[in-house]
A and B are shown apart, each in its own frame.
Chain A
Amino acid sequence: SAVISQKPSRDICQRGTSLTIQCQVDSQVTMMFWYRQQPGQSLTLIATANQGSEATYESGFVIDKFPISRPNLTFSTLTVSNMSPEDSSIYLCSSSGETQYFGPGTRLLVL
């Protein structure tokens, strides 16, 4: 099973600022996924990150708001830009494979 780490584990940010979340996998994977979980809700896919190409965003998510990098096969970042309180969520990354394993999540609170 893949072991996935995320940094930071939690943060409190001010409205209008940006936060970059890092995701590291202990093995090379083709795709990495970024999910958002708003308070009391289920997980919603933000985008799929492929190495060497631009991320593929789901409906309702745009690159300007959630830019993603995928510099190699074990690492990805998600930036939450120009944050508002509505961005307060848990952000989770996962790796592709027969089974998708998830990182521990980043709890973001925007004031």
Chain B
Amino acid sequence: AQKVTQAQTEISVVEKEDVTLDCVYETRDTTYYLFWYKQPPSGELVFLIRRNSFDEQNEISGRYSWNFQKSTSSFNFTITASQVVDSAVYFCALNQAAGNKLTFGGGTRVLVKP
């Protein structure tokens, strides 16, 4: 069975601070995919990144960066120089094959104060 754990339920920061969201996963599959989604107060789920299990290269996209470490089964997400618009719930998710159902972590609520 697959499992995704986001130990931090809520993080509060002041604007311009960096914030790192932790994600730890469990799976017996050798091929799997990891995702991060953002859910702003409006409720829609916004795709941020997809990473497959064979690609451990870290990725940076603007103020967002992701650190994938297979040895520790972690896929952490950092927001650099946070902004108020980053306030949302962030979900880490896992599926065993492309197109298959997702297993979500519990989510981390990020509150960025001005």
In the complex, which range does the number of interface residues on chain B fall in?
A: 20 to 34
Give Cα distance in the complex from A107 to B95, angstroms.
Answer: 25
Q: B-side binding surface: helix, strand, loop or mixed?
A: loop
What count of chain A residues pass the 8 Å CB interface test?
24
Partner of B45, one of A30, A31, A102: A102
B114 close to chain A: CB less than 8 A: no
- A90-B43, A99-B47 known; A45-B106 Cβ under 8 A: no
B27 CB to nearest A CB, Å: 16
Partner of B43, one of A1, A48, A98, A107: A107
**In the complex the two chains form, is A43's CB within 8 Å of B104's CB?**
yes
| Most chain A CB within a 10 A radius of its CB, from B37, B47, B98, B101 | B101
Instruction: Tell me which residues across on chain A come within 8 A of B35, comparing CB atoms.
Output: 99-100
**In the complex the two chains form, is A1's CB within 8 Å of B47's CB?**
yes
Q: Across the two chains, which residue of chain B brings its CB closest to A90?
A: B43
Give Cα distance in the complex from A90 to B45, angstroms.
Answer: 11
**In the complex the two chains form, is B44's CB within 8 Å of A102's CB?**
yes
Instruction: Tell me which residues across on chain B come within 8 A of A42, comparing CB atoms.
Output: 91, 104-107
Give Cα distance in the complex from A104 to B45, angstroms.
Answer: 7
Q: Across the two chains, which residue of chain B brings its CB closest to A29?
A: B99
* Interface mask (B74-114 → A, CB under 8 Å = 1, otherwise 0): 00000000000000000100010011111011110000000
A92 close to chain B: CB less than 8 A: yes
Q: Which residues from 32 to 80 on chain A have a C-beta closer than 8 Å to any C-beta of chain B?
A: 33, 41-45, 48
Instruction: Tell me which residues across on chain A come within 8 A of B44, comparing CB atoms.
Output: 102-105
Partner of A92, one of B45, B50, B101, B107: B45
A80 CB to nearest B CB, Å: 17
Instruction: Tell me which residues across on chain B come within 8 A of A8, comparing CB atoms.
Output: none
Give Cα distance in the complex from A10 to B106, angstroms.
Answer: 23
A85 close to chain B: CB less than 8 A: no
Instruction: Tell me which residues across on chain A come within 8 A of B37, comparing CB atoms.
Output: 102
Give Cα distance in the complex from A103 to B39, angstroms.
Answer: 12
3 smallest beta-carbon distances between A and B, as pairs: A96-B99, A102-B45, A104-B44
